[in-house]
Amino acid sequence: MERAAHPGDPTIAELGESAVLGRILPRLAPGDAALLGAGDDAAVVAAADGRFVVTTDLLVHGPDFRLAWSTPFDLGWKAAATNLTDVAAMGARPTALVVAIAVPPTMPVTVLEGIADGLREGLAALAPGAGVVGGDLSASTVLTIAVTAFGDLEGRAPVLRSGAVPGDVVAHAGARGDAARGLALLFDAGTDAAGEPDPVRAADVRAQYPRLVGAQLAPQPPVSAGVAAARAGATAMLDVSDGLARDARRIAEASGVDLDFVGAALGPDLRVALAGAEDHGLLATFPAGASVPEPFEVVGSVVAGTGGVLVDGRPVGSDGWDPYSGWDGRAG
């Protein structure tokens, strides 16, 4: 059970780095691949395949999350989820995370404990056997979480974005637009007297729409589907984090083809399904006639082209999330 911070809880500055780490590390598990976990200058992680997949991602207070909406547990869970799907999109099994956190010294240590709990439980639910093997702790005026994730290809070739060919089917696993709908609900909840997101209203919205708001704050992507897709012969794959249309174009451009979606297969709200970001589903292409594994759903086909995205044969734009040109100051 997650515990909220209380006024009497010690701050990070009051405890100091060593004591803080002494409270955080016991909350984390190193995972099955760790030969040497946290405690030395670096960890040692098994790479039985002789190769490893590696990726990294940042969560920054403001553009990526708001403490008025997210609990510390949510932040840890989301930090795990957003990296695990990048590993899964290569067809690899996640094995280990390294987590660096920069945090204001005045923040209660219970915030870091909650993040650690979210990381642990997120890994247990989404990638059993994976664990946190180390990281870093620093001071900052802005809470920032940086995660590096590792994965094991288990002897398979990595699934790239560049392998789609005309005649392949296009399939998607995971939610389409739920996180964007949840984010819109949080913004619609309004602000407090200082113009900041109102945590009380946000909590009410989450209680009323737990699935949609939960999809934004603590997503549950189909991580295990990445390995299933690779075993089924996926020709291309990626994590859908910036919006289905924007990310589909990345496969189309890398492969030198067009991806043509069937509008009816994407759901009743086509605009949100195409442009809504942060669902962290998986988009993959498979050879015609291949057995597409669950939970993938066939939503289109690969056709000859030069890097475009179509819906029912008609070109569509690349609306979605861009941390620079697409950022209007709203967290997502």
Verify that 202 and 137 share a domain, yes or no.
no
| Shared-domain flag, residues 101 and 21 | yes
Number of domains composing the chain: 3
Q: Which residues contact 297 (CB under 8 A, 6 or more apart)?
A: 171, 172, 173, 265
Confidence of residue 321 (pLDDT cuts 50, 70, 90): low
| Pair (82, 18) in one structural domain | yes
Same domain for 132 and 93: yes
Check the annotation: does 121 bind a ligand. Answer: no
Query: d(Cα 217, Cα 81) in Å, to the nearest integer?
Result: 11
The CATH number of whichever domain residue 290 belongs to comes to 3.90.650.10
Kindly state whether residue 331 falls inside one of the protein's structural domains: no
Question: Which run of H or E residues covers position 237?
Answer: strand 236-240
When pLDDT is averaged across residues 161-165 and rounded to a whole number, the result is 97
Which position has the higher pLDDT, 52 or 332? 52
Q: Examine the domain organization and report whether 25 and 137 are in the same domain.
A: yes
**Res 15: pLDDT:** 85
Segment 240-258 shows an average pLDDT of 97
pLDDT digit string (tens) for 186-198?
999 887 777 778 8
* 280 and 203 in a common domain: no
Q: 27 or 130, which is more confident?
A: 130
Is 161 annotated as a binding-site member?
yes
Contacts with 51 (C-beta within 8 Å, 6 or more apart), sequence order: 153
Enclosing domain of residue 143? 12-152
Q: What average pLDDT does the chain have?
A: 91
1 pLDDT tier (thresholds 50, 70, 90): very low
Does the pLDDT value for residue 332 go beyond 60? Answer: no
Do residues 246 and 321 touch, judged by C-beta distance below 8 A?
yes
Question: Does residue 164 lie in a domain region?
Answer: no
| Structure confidence at residue 95 as a pLDDT band (50, 70, 90) | very high
**Residue 177 confidence (pLDDT) above 90:** yes
pTM above 0.85?
yes
Q: Is 136 labelled as part of a ligand binding site?
A: yes
Domain boundary among 194, 217, 240: 217
163 within domain boundaries: no
Query: Is 64 annotated as a binding-site member?
Result: yes
Task: Report pLDDT digits (tens) over 137-158.
Answer: 999 999 999 999 999 999 999 9
48 with 99, same domain?
yes
Both 90 and 49 in a single domain? Answer: yes
Bigger pLDDT: 204 or 6? 204
- Mean pLDDT of the region 214-227: 97
Do 21 and 128 reside in the same domain of the chain?
yes
> Any known ligand binding at 86?
yes
Cα separation, 12 vs 111, in Å, equals 9
pLDDT number for residue 330:
40
Q: Residues, the chain, total?
A: 332
Q: Where are the alpha helices (DSSP H) in the chain?
A: 12-15, 17-24, 72-88, 109-126, 178-188, 199-208, 210-217, 225-231, 244-255, 270-275
The reply to whether 134 and 263 lie within a common domain is no
Q: Report whether 110 belongs to an annotated binding site.
A: no
> Is residue 146 one of the residues assigned to a domain?
yes
Residues with Cβ < 8 Å from 23, sequence gap 6 or more?
15, 109, 112, 113
CATH number at residue 147: 3.30.1330.10
Has 247 been labeled as part of a binding site?
A: no
Asked whether the beta carbons of 57 and 98 are under 8 A apart, the reply is no
Rounded average pLDDT over 229-240: 98
Q: 308 and 197 in one domain? A: no
Angle at 10 between CA 26 and CA 57, to 5 degrees: 55
Is residue 135 annotated as involved in ligand binding?
yes
Structural domain contains residue 187: yes
Average pLDDT over residues 249-261: 98
| Mean pLDDT value of segment 276-298 | 96
pLDDT-derived band at 214, boundaries 50, 70, 90: very high
